[in-house]
Structure 1
Amino acid sequence: MGIMGKVVGGAIGFALGGPLGAILGATFGHAYDASNQLDRTGFVDSPMSHTESSQFTFFVATFSMLAKLARADGRVSQAEIDTIRQFMIYDLNLPPESQQIAMNIFQTALDSPQSFEEFASQFFGQFHGQPQILQLMMDILYRVSVADGELNAAEERILTTASRIFGIDDSHYRSHASATKESDTDRYYKLLGCSRSDSEETIKKQYRKMASDFHPDKIIAKGLPEEFVKFANDKFKDIQEAYEAIKKERRFS
């Protein structure tokens, strides 16, 4: 059972403060007390474990930030709503109950007074010591932003804002704006954080690090919700595919 199933089923309680707590309170119909004392992660006293709290933050933050991404150009089209639903179904494999909760969070966040920056900052407060989790959130934001085949200026500004708050070099994401002009192998190098001029040993070392950092079991233990297992597996497969393609091109074992 994923983290949202546990909450709905009453297996655990929750108390989330900060801007994400405001979204959560409105979504679930709970009163939100802004005077609650928060710790640096944005949580008030809660019966959840630290891992469950992290998973909960990731889930709520994902669909809150995606809402502001969709609203970046001032309007939200039906095509963008459909993109979010497709992401839930095909990229995440969310069960119907979790899809409904995710869409409720998304709809609540769309017209909320909280900004993307506020959501991203609270997310960073929870995961600032876990760069893999921050990277996965960037991957999610990017994947949804280009689902229609292009990256518009408003979406690119959101990605740049996220990368600044998360402390991530955004050159990888900015480069995707012209991805159609690159070869597959060029993209593979960028996915591994390498360049064509790197030595075989450097590439191997970087691959081993990324394969370890992004192993699904490891990042789930760090706070990735169970609902995002498929996304984590896909990321891991992309890393392996990139390395195998580079090995084949450069003919090393």
Structure 2
Amino acid sequence: MGWMGKLVGGTIGFAIGGPLGAIFGAAFGHAFDSGAELDEKSGRQRLSTNEQHQLTFFVAAFSMLAKLVQTDGKVSPEEIDSIEGFMERDLRLTPQSRNVAVNIFRTALNAPGTFDDFAHQFHNRFHNQPQMQEVMIDILLRVAVSDGSMTTSEENLILSAVKIFNFSQVRYEQLKSQYVQTADKAYAVLGCHPDDSDDQVKRCYRQRVQEYHPDKIAAKGLPDEFTRFAQDKFREIQDAWDQIKAARGIK
């Protein structure tokens, strides 16, 4: 059934805790069990470890996005359109998942928790899974530039997440350049440089393919609702490799 089905079906036997747990509880009326043993008669279903990861990622993503679009003190119609577009185009959420995402997003807009609070809790959950951290930063970048440009205040928040995650500044710049039209975009997708040797480019390509295979990162806790995003990233890696192979004459 997954965490989404258990949530919509009634109650679940797991509370995230911390600032993200406060968002989740406020959004869904504390319709979960935070403590003791669950029995068959209670009707509550305890989440598996992977479902807990998925729930945390989902709540963190839309909570952090809420604070991102709110960083200038107001939320414009264009920013709301960018979030809705992300849900529709990039994630292709089902109506059920979309309602949950919107509920979390709206709750986080008015919540006292800060972007950094959410980022710290996300890092605590995924500190040993760099692919998950990279997916989150990629999501933040994609939404930030979706209205045509990224403001200084938006990038400062994203850089705060980069620091909290202990994420590579070099890799951040590569991710950022994927959303800017440059001749080196294909190399940025693979995480390498135009002056790297063919062998080094091949190694980067193989590493990215291994890291971003949708099945592999799903097993690490990426929610099913974000599978489309992972699939798009995987295709971007393949397209970048094809472009570089053609330019370099690599067989």
Question: Hey, what does 1:165 align to over in structure 2?
Answer: 164
**Which stretch shifts more, 22-31 or 102-111?**
22-31
Post-superposition offset of 1:179 = 5.9
Is residue 182 of structure 1 aligned with residue 217 of structure 2? no
- Give the Cα–Cα distance (whole angstroms) in 2 for the partners of residues 51 and 189 of structure 1: 32
- Give the Cα–Cα distance (whole angstroms) in 1 for the partners of residues 187 and 153 of structure 2: 27
CA contact 2:162–2:169 (8 Å) conserved in 1: yes
* Greater RCO (CA < 8 Å, at least 6 residues apart): 1
3-state SS, counterpart of residue 30 of structure 2 = coil
Summarize deviations over 1:105-156 as a string: whole Å, max 9, x none: 1011012111100100100111111111110011100000000111110111
| TM-score, normalised relative to structure 2 | 0.90
Q: Cα RMSD over matched residues?
A: 2.2
- 2:154 partner letter: E
- Give the Cα–Cα distance (whole angstroms) in 1 for the partners of residues 129 and 182 of structure 2: 30
Post-superposition offset of 1:177 = 6.9
Question: Hey, what does 2:41 align to over in structure 1?
Answer: none
Post-superposition offset of 1:73 = 1.0
After superposition, the Cα gap between the structure-2 partners of 1:10 and 1:33, relative to the gap in structure 1 and judged at 3 Å, is closer
Match of 1:210 among 208, 211, 220: 208
After superposition, the Cα gap between the structure-2 partners of 1:59 and 1:244, relative to the gap in structure 1 and judged at 3 Å, is same
- Give the Cα–Cα distance (whole angstroms) in 1 for the partners of residues 9 and 242 of structure 2: 43
CA contact 1:3–1:227 (8 Å) conserved in 2: no
Is residue 194 of structure 1 aligned with residue 187 of structure 2? no
Instruction: Mark the runs of 5 or more structure 1 residues left unpaired by the alignment.
Output: 37-45
- Give the Cα–Cα distance (whole angstroms) in 2 for the partners of residues 73 and 5 of structure 1: 35
CA contact 1:2–1:225 (8 Å) conserved in 2: no
Give the share of equivalent positions with the same residue, in percent: 51
- 2:243 partner letter: A
Is residue 141 of structure 1 aligned with residue 140 of structure 2? yes
Post-superposition offset of 1:166 = 1.1
Summarize deviations over 1:141-198 as a string: whole Å, max 9, x none: 0000000111110111011011111111234545647965622xx0111111111111
After superposition, the Cα gap between the structure-2 partners of 1:206 and 1:180, relative to the gap in structure 1 and judged at 3 Å, is closer
After superposition, the Cα gap between the structure-2 partners of 1:18 and 1:33, relative to the gap in structure 1 and judged at 3 Å, is farther
3-state SS, counterpart of residue 74 of structure 1 = coil
- Give the Cα–Cα distance (whole angstroms) in 2 for the partners of residues 15 and 120 of structure 1: 18
Is residue 21 of structure 1 aligned with residue 21 of structure 2? yes
Question: Hey, what does 2:3 align to over in structure 1?
Answer: 3
Summarize deviations over 1:208-237 as a string: whole Å, max 9, x none: 011011100000011000111100100111
Question: Hey, what does 2:218 align to over in structure 1?
Answer: 220
Question: Hey, what does 1:62 align to over in structure 2?
Answer: 61
Post-superposition offset of 1:19 = 0.4
3-state SS, counterpart of residue 91 of structure 1 = helix
| TM-score, normalised relative to structure 1 | 0.89
CA contact 1:189–1:196 (8 Å) conserved in 2: yes
Post-superposition offset of 1:97 = 1.3
- 1:22 partner letter: A
Give the number of aligned pairs: 241
Post-superposition offset of 1:100 = 1.0
- Give the Cα–Cα distance (whole angstroms) in 2 for the partners of residues 20 and 72 of structure 1: 18
